[in-house]
């Protein structure tokens, strides 16, 4: 069967040349005996929703994955959003069927499944979330479902941090203690850090860690990093030097959200 006749999926994002998603979907294709192609579509960071929609319509796709910085572009457009996408204000998976765009956010399920696989229980825990972007929202939404007791969010962009808190308050239980810290003006108190820290930033991809992360004292802490090799290298090295109790990278989360995306494309519609 010619590959041109196979169902086609694209990964839409910027700076994604090293993404592990292509390999993961090749493995899923074999595991579930479902032939399809999965290709990277590298875009400029300033690509518009119209440009992304045009790519999908002109590429004869059955679906797409969306990664940063485009996860929020598909909200309030002509896309049929699942409840989880509405609540998190983020989209990472799109299915095309009969001229319609159906969108969801499988990062939430991917994060929850990875915690179960890694046997990390967040119930009744206080969690520190680093970052104020779309992935942070997905993680916090999942944490709410996992019955955490408190969340402290740390970010450097005041506007993004305020928007994140506003969205979180719409779905967080009143019993969850929510605190936000602008790391640009407030230094974190290492004496009061929670035992579980979840990094949703791109820290580790570049030549140095952000100052507010590099000053964290992480000895005996549990660090969950949504990034994976090679994107997590610097933060992983820092955690090793800090003698964390446990460091978990995001490869399992990526694999589990890929399974959820596969189900959305081929089984949901």
Q: Distance between CA atoms of 188 and 116, rounded to whole angstroms?
A: 29
* Helices 158-171 and 134-145, axial angle in degrees (round to 10): 30
Q: Distance between CA atoms of 131 and 1, rounded to whole angstroms?
A: 45
Instruction: Name the CA radius of gyration of the chain, rounded.
Output: 19
Query: DSSP letters of 170-196?
Result: HHS-TTSEEEEEETTT----GGG--SE
Prior bond to 237 cis, omega within 30? no
Query: DSSP letters of 130-161?
Result: E--SHHHHHHHHHHHHTT-SEEEEEES-HHHH
124 is catalytic: no
Of the candidates 34, 71, 112, 217, the residue annotated as catalytic is 71
The count of other CB atoms within 10 Å of the CB of residue 192 is 9
Catalytic residues: 71
């Amino acid at each position: 069967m010619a590959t041109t006749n196979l169902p086609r999926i694209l990964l839409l994002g910027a700076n994604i040349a090293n993404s592990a998603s292509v390999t993961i979907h090749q493995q899923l294709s074999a595991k579930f005996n479902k032939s399809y192609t999965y290709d990277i579509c590298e875009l400029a960071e300033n690509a518009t929703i119209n440009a992304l929609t045009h790519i999908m319509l002109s590429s004869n796709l059955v679906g797409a994955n969306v990664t940063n910085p485009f996860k929020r572009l598909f909200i309030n457009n002509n896309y049929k959003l699942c409840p989880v996408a509405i609540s998190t204000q983020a989209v990472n998976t799109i299915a095309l069927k009969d001229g319609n765009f159906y969108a969801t956010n499988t990062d939430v399920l991917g994060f929850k499944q990875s915690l179960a696989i890694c046997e990390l229980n967040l119930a009744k825990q206080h969690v520190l979330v680093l970052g104020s972007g779309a992935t942070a929202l997905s993680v916090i939404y999942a944490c709410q479902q996992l019955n955490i007791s408190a969340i402290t969010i740390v970010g450097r962009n005041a506007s993004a941090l305020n928007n994140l808190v506003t969205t979180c308050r719409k779905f967080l239980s009143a019993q969850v203690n929510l605190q936000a810290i602008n790391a640009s003006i407030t230094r974190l108190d290492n004496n009061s850090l929670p035992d579980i820290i979840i990094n949703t930033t791109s820290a580790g991809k570049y030549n140095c860690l952000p100052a507010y992360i590099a000053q964290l004292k992480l000895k005996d802490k549990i660090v969950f990093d949504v990034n994976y090799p090679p994107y997590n290298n610097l933060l992983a090295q820092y955690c090793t030097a800090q003698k964390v109790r446990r460091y978990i990278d995001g490869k399992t989360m990526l694999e589990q959200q890929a399974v959820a995306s596969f189900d959305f494309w081929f089984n949901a519609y």
